[in-house]
Amino acid sequence: MDKKLLEYLSGYLTPQRLELFDKVIDSRTRHITVVLEDIFQKQNASAVLRTCDCFGIQDVHIIEDRNEFQVNREIAMGSSKWLSLHKYNSKENNALDAIQTLKKQGYRIVATTPHNNDQELQDFDITAGKTALVFGSELPGITDTIMQEADEFLKIPMYGFTESFNISVSAAIILHHLTLKMRNSKDLNWQLSDTEKDELKFEWIRKTIKRSELIEKRFWEENKRK
């Protein structure tokens, strides 16, 4: 990403738009990321994306085995445009591929499930390291692969007859609680690096400007003549 190109493209946006981009990017994080395994209801998938955007989660990792991940635009409210979506759908075991990729990036794998008593939400230590929260499919939940590869398990305490929340509700509850703890922590450097901020801003500007590829081509042509 060329900083001169970033500055050049920025000239095509209003100061108010650029100010909004900077404000949102300052609140973005990769300390927490979300993993969605084989979600088949696009209403749920879209609601989770909207929740991630609202709480400043930049990356969503999508495992597609039996089900293709689909977005309902009315529910997502354009949130997918501002998120970095990473899909895993080309391997024999896409769940394992996703988990191995995240572990290489330094994430601890935290499977969300009501069927394991490892720890409850209020006891989770967000300062212990980068966290990848895995949410399983609506009916079967997380797969055996995730269960075997997970570093930790997390559950939301419940006191009624129903054994679990809808996946989109679970994601909202957990992300609200953990991002609040994260942002209030004095020991965490949870924000994006300066390089990551520039790269994300560049990506968003590209998505905002119509026919940005032509404007970029003009920029490079002008710079060749200098």
Report pLDDT digits (tens) over 56-79.
999 999 998 887 777 767 676 688
pLDDT value of residue 163: 78
C-alpha–C-alpha distance, residues 90 and 30, integer Å: 24
180 or 210, greater pLDDT: 180
pLDDT value of residue 42: 79
C-alpha–C-alpha distance, residues 188 and 144, integer Å: 32
Percent of the chain exceeding pLDDT 90 equals 66
pLDDT value of residue 76: 65
C-alpha–C-alpha distance, residues 52 and 57, integer Å: 5
Strands (E), 64-144: 84-88, 108-112, 131-135
Residue with tokens 């994306």: 49
pLDDT value of residue 117: 67
Highest mean pLDDT among 19-23, 43-47, 63-67, 143-147 belongs to 19-23
For 62, the enclosing helix (H) or strand (E) is strand 59-63
Residue 182 neighbours by CB under 8 Å, 6+ apart = 29, 31, 32, 126, 188, 190
pLDDT value of residue 219: 82
Note the pLDDT tens digit of each residue in 81-129: 999 999 999 988 999 999 999 999 999 999 998 776 678 999 999 999 9
Classify strands 131-135 and 59-63 as parallel, antiparallel or unpaired. Answer: unpaired
Question: What superfamily would CATH give domain 27-195?
Answer: SPOUT methyltransferase, trefoil knot domain (3.40.1280.10)
- Mean pLDDT on 210-225: 85
pLDDT value of residue 108: 97
pLDDT value of residue 13: 94
Helices of type H across the chain: 3-10, 15-26, 42-54, 73-76, 94-104, 144-149, 167-184, 194-208, 212-225
Full-model pTM: 0.92
pLDDT value of residue 92: 87
pLDDT value of residue 9: 92
Q: How far is CA 207 from CA 13, 78, 110, 182, 210, in A?
A: 12, 12, 32, 29, 8
- Mean pLDDT on 198-213: 93
Note the pLDDT tens digit of each residue in 1-35: 688 999 999 999 999 999 999 999 999 999 999 99
C-alpha–C-alpha distance, residues 103 and 149, integer Å: 10
pLDDT band at 183 (very low <50, low <70, confident <90, very high): very high
pLDDT value of residue 177: 97
217 or 189, greater pLDDT: 189
- Mean pLDDT on 180-199: 96
